[in-house]
A and B are shown apart, each in its own frame.
Chain A
Amino acid sequence: DVKVTQSSRYLVKRTGEKVFLECVQDMDHENMFWYRQDPGLGLRLIYFSYDVKMKEKGDIPEGYSVSREKKERFSLILESASTNQTSMYLCASCSGGDYEQYFGPGTRLTVT
C-alpha cells in the first residue's frame, strides 16, 4: 500500500513564525504536490515537484516555498506565517508512469 505521511495532524502557530510542513512518501514516487483546502474555495495547488531539487509554482505560491532534497520528502515552508494561511494542507504523490495520486492525512494549520 502506498503511504503518504505528514508531520502533524494539527498545528497552531503565531503570526510571523516560520513554519515547516513535512510530507514523506514510501513508494519511490517521482512527483509530489502540496495543496491547500479552504471552505468555498476547494483544493488549490501551491507547489509541486517532479524530481529531487526541482520545484514548480502552482496556482497560489505567494507566501510559501518548498524544499525537496530527497526523493521521498517534500517540505512546505511558510516563511512568515499570516492568519490568511490558516487552512488544511494536503500533500500528494504519484509515480512518473502511473498517474494515480495518493494523499496524506492532511495538516490543519491555525495561525493566530
Chain B
Amino acid sequence: GIQVEQSPPDLILQEGANSTLRCNFSDSVNNLQWFHQNPWGQLINLFYIPSGTKQNGRLSATTVATERYSLLYISSSQTTDSGVYFCAVGQGNTPLVFGKGTRLSVIA
C-alpha cells in the first residue's frame, strides 16, 4: 500500500516565525489533504490539494505530484496554530492513508 512520511515529527516555534512541513508519499495519488487536529481531537480540513498550490490566509500548500511530495507553509505562526498536522493521501474515493503527523508547538 501507499506509504506516507511526514517531517519533522516535532517542531517548536517562537510566535511569529515561519515553518514548512513536508509530506512524502510512495505512489501516485489523486487525493491529498492536509488536516489540523485541534486539542479536542477533531480533524479540521486545511487543504484539499492533489496538485498545485493553494493559499488560505497565513497557510499555503504546494503539491508536486510527479515528485510525490507536498509542503505546508505556515507564516507568522500564532499559539493557536499549535497541534498536530496530518497529511493524508488516497486514490479516488478510497480511504485515506495518513502520515504520523507533525506536532507543532508555538510558544509566545
Contacts and interface: CB of A to CB of B under 8 A. Distances in A.
B93 A42 contact: no
Given A43-B98, A50-B93, A100-B48, A105 B33 contact: no
Contact of A42 (B33, B35, B45, B101): B101
Given A42-B98, A42-B100, A43-B98, A96 B42 contact: no
A92 B35 CA distance: 13
Contact of B93 (A45, A96, A103): A96
Interface residues of A, number: 27
B31 A99 contact: yes
Interface in B34-85: 35, 40-43, 45, 48
What secondary structure prevails in chain A residues at the interface with B? strand
A58 interface: yes
Please classify how large the interface on chain B is, using the bins under 10, 10 to 19, 20 to 34, 35 or more.
20 to 34
B46 to A, nearest CB: 11
B96 A101 contact: yes
B41 A99 contact: no
Interface string B92-103: 110110111100
B92 A99 contact: yes
B30 interface: yes
A105 B41 contact: yes
A103 B100 contact: no
Interface in A40-95: 42-43, 45, 48, 50, 58, 88, 90, 92, 94-95
Interface of B: 30-31, 33, 35, 40-43, 45, 48, 86, 88, 90, 92-93, 95-96, 98-101
